Structure 1
Amino acid sequence: MPARTADRRPPPPPGGPSRLTRTADEEPSPRSPVPRPPTAGELLARETTSPRQVVPHGPLADLMQAGLLEAGAVLSFHQRRANRSGRAVVTPDGQLVVDGHATPYPSPSKAAEAVTGNVINGWTLWHVEDGRTLDVLRRELESRNSQ
């Protein structure tokens, strides 16, 4: 009986078989466990303990470079009617790490949306510890720059 062509394997590439492929008769390797996402605190610790110089970028960069907002600053809000509040920490690169969320957010509005579930203006929602909103800080910076 002639050999069937479907049972034949193609010849190995020059230099031997590739390590990135396996043949049909090889058992797949056991799956490695999927790592858990880092917590907000772990993300912030990575950013603040990094030996490299971190330059802020994104919407908060100007406030940070002007000294009106610092890495590690705690932002918060409370909406009485909706009975909800939020807390976020500014990272050295200008993102916001929101409590209960592992991924940093690139803008105040995206961070606010993550907490409220609604599209919302984060510049007028988030407050720094002295009570000023990010929008007030942004207007202070604009008035400094216009003088």
Structure 2
Amino acid sequence: MVEPGTVLRARGDRDATATVLADGRIDFDGTAYDTPSGAGKVARGGSTNGWAFWSLPDGRQLRQLKEPYRKLMEERRAGARSTRRMGSIPPASSNNGAPRNNPHDRVRPSSSAPSTNFV
């Protein structure tokens, strides 16, 4: 969804930038954060919705990728549940198939390798 190395810019009059890492985390000021909100909180100096705080190089807000990311993750979870039913691996704790609605969902890197982090 977002290529590693993509530079994110803070919205508004802030001069902050962050970089998407290969593992999906976000590097801001030399520290890797697991979520857009984690990096945004430090950049802003207070709590923030990182999905709305960061913008992509083309000007779109990062939050425009959130719903497609959630759909991708739900499809992958559904596939994993289906695979578990066929094998002997017991399922992890269940949320009864409901999509997870965590405001700090991570974004998945665009590489084909699975990641649990941002992008």
Identify the TM-score tier after normalising by the shorter chain: 0.5 to 0.7
Q: CA–CA distance in 2 between the matches of 1:85 and 1:115?
A: 9
Q: CA–CA distance in 1 between the matches of 2:73 and 2:21?
A: 24
Of 51, 57, 62, 1:123 maps to 51
Task: For 1:137, give the aligned amino acid.
Answer: L
Q: Which residue of 2 aligns with 1:136?
A: 64
Alignment of 1:50-69 (within 5 A): 68-69=1-2
TM-score, length basis structure 2: 0.54
Does the CA-based 8 Å contact 2:11-2:55 persist in structure 1? no
Does the CA-based 8 Å contact 2:5-2:20 persist in structure 1? yes
Q: Relative to structure 1, is the Cα distance of residues 145 and 106 closer, same or farther in structure 2, using a 3 angstrom cutoff? A: closer
State the Cα RMSD in Å. 2.2
Q: Relative to structure 1, is the Cα distance of residues 141 and 96 closer, same or farther in structure 2, using a 3 angstrom cutoff? A: closer
Unpaired runs of 5+ residues, structure 1, are 1-67
TM-score, length basis structure 1: 0.45
Structure 1 position 102 matched with structure 2 position 30: yes
Does the CA-based 8 Å contact 2:10-2:17 persist in structure 1? yes
Residue 78 of structure 1: CA displacement?
3.0
Residue 142 of structure 1: CA displacement?
4.5
- Please identify the structure whose Cα radius of gyration is greater: 1
Residue 85 of structure 1: CA displacement?
2.6
Q: Relative to structure 1, is the Cα distance of residues 77 and 140 closer, same or farther in structure 2, using a 3 angstrom cutoff? A: same
Task: For 1:115, give the aligned amino acid.
Answer: A
The runs of at least 4 aligned residues of structure 1 exceeding 4 Å deviation read 142-146
Query: Which deviations, in whole Å up to 9, do the C-alpha atoms of 1:1-26 show, x marking residues without a partner?
Result: xxxxxxxxxxxxxxxxxxxxxxxxxx
Q: Which residue of 1 aligns with 2:7?
A: 74
Aligned length: 75
Q: Which residue of 1 aligns with 2:17?
A: 87
Alignment of 1:29-68 (within 5 A): 68=1
